[in-house]
Amino acid sequence: MPIRLGETAPNFDAQTTMGDINFYDWAGDSWVVLYSHPSDYTPVCTTELGRTAALKEDFEQRSAKVIALSVDDLDSHMGWVKDIEETQDVKMNFPIIADADKKIAVAYDMMHPEADAKFTVRSVYIIDPQRKVRLTLTYPPSTGRNFTEILRVLDSLQLTDNYSVATPVDWKEGDDVVISPSIKTEDIPDKFPKGHKVIKPYLRTTPQPNR
């Protein structure tokens, strides 16, 4: 069954390039970005892993950890890490899960029924500190993932979890946000003292409240 938003992310024990882990223990109180790769030594994924390593501080600023997965074994992963570091000019600073028996890939619905049985699809999951899945994305093999977008979604989720707002189209950190329809217009000044605009009765905006 596909993993749906709001469901609890499955726990697992795994070998990784940075040692054995229990997923829940490793995650701790952090947000987690978990993403999968069809196999080791794939060109697009090599660039993605390098980009993720370069963004370590950006994820840390959002109390987020990143972990990748491929169904190849640990020895293969360790060789791939050397290639990533060489070609992407980074030091790998986050783990890659070895899932040779595909148990984790199956638990997270990463196996495409019409693809090679060995390969995982290129999925992304954002998981919150309560272990709930908050975002799922699946990319085609030919298209590299946009980590600026993944960081943007983390910003949006963390903002909207703490305030009665939503983020509009193309929102980025610092832009105005949309006030929840559940807030009565007459109550807005008390809740959002920075001011607001009423564009339509159902479309009210306010400056980002935590800036």
- Catalytic residue numbers, as ranges: 45
Q: For the packed helices 43-54 and 147-162, what is the interaxial angle rounded to 10 degrees?
A: 50
3-state secondary structure of 33: strand
34 closest CA partner among 101, 90, 109: 109
